[in-house]
Amino acid sequence: MSNVRIVESRSSTWVYHLSSDPTSLVALCGAQTMTSPATLESWGVVTHVGERYCPQCARLGGK
């Protein structure tokens, strides 16, 4: 899927989604989101802050 990027949930911290929306305000799963500095290469990486990744976006985005 082209132009997919990581976005962050607006309802919870450290919860990431994928979006192809030009505004980054809606995830592939339909969740409301905001921009994130995270890169696609970091999708799935969990550090000491306990990042979580949307499984529905992963399926829809082919991750």
Is the confidence at residue 1, as pLDDT, over 90? no
> In degrees, to the nearest 5, what angle opens at C-alpha 11 toward C-alphas 8 and 12?
70
- 25-62 confidence digits (pLDDT tens): 999 999 999 999 999 999 999 999 999 999 999 999 98
CA pair distance 45, 26, nearest whole angstrom: 22
Q: Which of 33, 23, 22 is nearest to 56 (CA)?
A: 33
Residues 6+ apart with CB under 8 A from 12: none
Backbone angles phi, psi at 19, to 5 degrees: -140, 145
CA pair distance 42, 53, nearest whole angstrom: 11
Q: Which domain holds residue 9?
A: 5-61
pLDDT grade for 12, boundaries at 50, 70 and 90: confident
Number of domains composing the chain? 1
